[in-house]
Amino acid sequence: MLNPLLKHFARIWRQHFALQMTTVIVLSGTFSVIGISFLIHQNLTKVLTQWGNSISMSVFLDDEFNNSDKLISKIKKSEGVASFEYVSKEKASQLFKDQVESYIPDLVFDSEFKNPLPASYEIKFDRNWSKEKYNEVVRFAKELMDFKGVEEVSYGQNWVENYAAVVDKFNHSSGLLIFVLLTGSLFVVGNSIRNSISQRRDEIEILELIGSTKWSIRIPYIFEGFVLGFIASLISIIVTYLVFNWQLSVIESGVGIVGGQYHLSFLSFKTQFIIVLLGSIFGVVGAYFCVTKLSTGWTAHQAES
């Protein structure tokens, strides 16, 4: 069964090489944009994952805080807390002086320096990032703020919220773009298949007249759509990989965040498989829409008209 299908596809390519090549190029460009969208999404999300792997929280206390036992009990019972440490005002001041000593050494020895830093609890979490985890951290922070004597709870919420909002907006916009591109791929495949059917109308009419089953007539063209989508999606992965390597070389040359190349990764095998699967499926669907009238007398009717 496969051998006749391959022969049909090879014959179509020999007879209409320019059209077939144009179809593959357009489809490759379409799926390359989809692949790059997946790549950007993956690496944007990875930043949140890295934040999740090293997430910490600072609970700042006022000078009159005297509710340490209940606060410690709350922290210990909270899911995902790996460790926590009490940092006194004196220790916070010393840590601050150690950090700024090389910049303003006089501060370390200034007897008039007053310690404005509050005592705090430094909390570290141990679970991997997820959208649910961020919501849990927000909820946990609000619960800690309810304790009398807790001045502020900080976990980098401002940049994380803004960054997460950017990721969400990108996901929505790229989802719409992918939908438009996949819909367009149906028309591209359909145009190629319609041309193949038009060029072989006499042959199809003969097959209809001698009583060939409808699927024996349709399957070669559906297979043609499948191969077009399959080849184009494979090429798109290669193009995406070349773009990815080019971006890494740009970062390595110093244009971008230093060391950023170590945080970027190419599409996972699962994502690559999804792209190839999408290309193959939409190739089949685009072809199927064009062959639904075959073996129904449509060809003979078209010839008469």
The domain spans of the chain are 2-50+161-304, 56-154
Q: What is the pLDDT of residue 102?
A: 58
pTM of the model: 0.64
Alpha helices in the chain (DSSP H): 2-15, 17-53, 68-77, 89-100, 106-109, 131-145, 157-199, 201-209, 214-252, 269-291, 298-304
Helices 269-291 & 214-252, crossing angle to 10 degrees?
150
DSSP codes of every residue in 265-283: -PPPHHHHHHHHHHHHHHH
Which DSSP category does 117 fall into?
Answer: P
Q: What is the pLDDT of residue 228?
A: 92
Which one, of 34, 52, 125, lies nearest residue 83 by Cα?
Answer: 125
Q: What is the pLDDT of residue 272?
A: 93
State how far the Cα of 52 lies from the Cα of 180, in Å rounded to an integer: 33
Those residues whose C-beta lies under 8 Å from the C-beta of residue 295, and which sit 6 or more positions away, are 207, 208, 212, 213, 214, 217, 218
State how far the Cα of 82 lies from the Cα of 192, in Å rounded to an integer: 59
Domain 56-154 has CATH 3.30.70.3040: yes
Distance in Å from the first CA to the final CA of the chain: 34
**Mean pLDDT of successive 10-residue stretches along the chain, which has 305 residues:** 72 80 92 91 71 70 77 79 79 68 55 68 69 70 84 74 75 89 91 82 70 74 91 94 84 52 76 93 91 60 47
- Secondary structure of residue 89 in the 3-state scheme: helix
Q: Which residue matches tokens 């692949």?
A: 35
Give whole-number Cα distances, 68 to 62, 83, 120, 150, in Å.
12, 16, 11, 10
Q: Per the structure block, which two tokens stand in for 262?
A: 């170590």
- Phi and psi for 157 in degrees, rounded to 5? -65, -35
Q: Per the structure block, which two tokens stand in for 148?
A: 């009398």
State how far the Cα of 115 lies from the Cα of 87, in Å rounded to an integer: 14
Which one, of 8, 20, 46, 28, lies nearest residue 231 by Cα?
Answer: 28
Q: Which residue matches tokens 């007897």?
A: 111
Q: Per the structure block, which two tokens stand in for 230?
A: 């399959």
Do residues 236 and 31 touch, judged by C-beta distance below 8 A?
yes
